[in-house]
């Protein structure tokens, strides 16, 4: 029997494609840019090109997972153009599948990956909420979206200054 590999192989994962970018010759980077984005590369800055190509690869892959992503983003863009203001995210906002959330806590870096089924992969275990992971990390109750920086702390909202009245 022959040990040749089949001509029908699955394409490398998005992560594998992104991992290969730094090793690719610049000519291949330019060709990949042309294929994914179209047109000539806007700069010769390799790091810029690699980041944009990585983003595009993820965009193409993960929009298959979340078909509503493009529609949701288009509605937000239209709202921004119409009102001039960015609408706050919905309370049940969840990051797109494949998003990696990174948080450093007490000198240790923690990584969480959002999955297509709405759960979160943390250290090889699945969790239904970011809050459960934040509690696992800190030992205290935390808002998961707050802990991972998906929403600002409530004290970040600036309150109008109040005038102090002096006594007469």
DSSP structure string for 22-87: GGS-HHHHHHHHHHHT-SS-S-S-HHHHHHHHHHHHHHHHHHHH-THHHHHHHHHHHHHHHHSSPP
118 Cβ neighbours under 8 A, 6+ residues apart: 94, 128
Q: What is the mean pLDDT of residues 51-63?
A: 84
Among 3-12, 103-112, 126-135, whose mean pLDDT is lowest? 3-12
pLDDT at residue 141 is higher than 80: yes
> Can you give the pLDDT at residue 61?
80
**How confident is the model at residue 32, as a pLDDT?**
93
* Phi and psi at residue 71, to the nearest 5°: -65, -45
Provide the 3-class DSSP secondary structure of residue 17: helix
Between 32 and 65, name the one with better pLDDT: 32
Please report, for the chain, the start and end positions of each structural domain, with discontinuous segments joined by +.
14-65, 100-154
Query: Is residue 82 a contact partner of residue 88, using CB atoms and an 8 Å limit?
Result: no
Q: What average pLDDT score do residues 140-150 get?
A: 87
Tell me the C-alpha distance between 41 and 33, whole Å.
7
């Amino acid at each position: 029997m022959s040990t040749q590999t089949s001509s029908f192989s699955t394409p490398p994962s998005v992560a594998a494609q992104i991992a290969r970018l730094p090793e690719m010759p610049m000519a291949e980077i330019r060709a990949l840019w042309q294929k994914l984005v179209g047109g000539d590369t806007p700069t010769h800055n390799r790091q810029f090109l690699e980041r944009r190509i990585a983003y595009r690869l993820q965009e193409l892959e993960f929009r298959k997972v979340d078909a509503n992503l493009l529609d949701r983003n288009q509605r937000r863009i239209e709202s921004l153009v119409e009102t001039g203001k960015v609408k706050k995210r919905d309370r049940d906002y969840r990051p797109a599948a494949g998003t990696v959330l990174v948080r450093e806590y007490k000198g240790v870096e923690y990584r969480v990956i959002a999955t297509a089924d709405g759960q979160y992969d943390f250290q090889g275990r699945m969790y239904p909420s970011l809050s459960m992971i934040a509690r696992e990390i800190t030992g205290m109750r935390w808002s998961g979206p707050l802990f991972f920086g998906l929403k600002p702390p409530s004290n970040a909202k600036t309150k109008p200054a109040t005038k102090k009245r002096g006594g007469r």
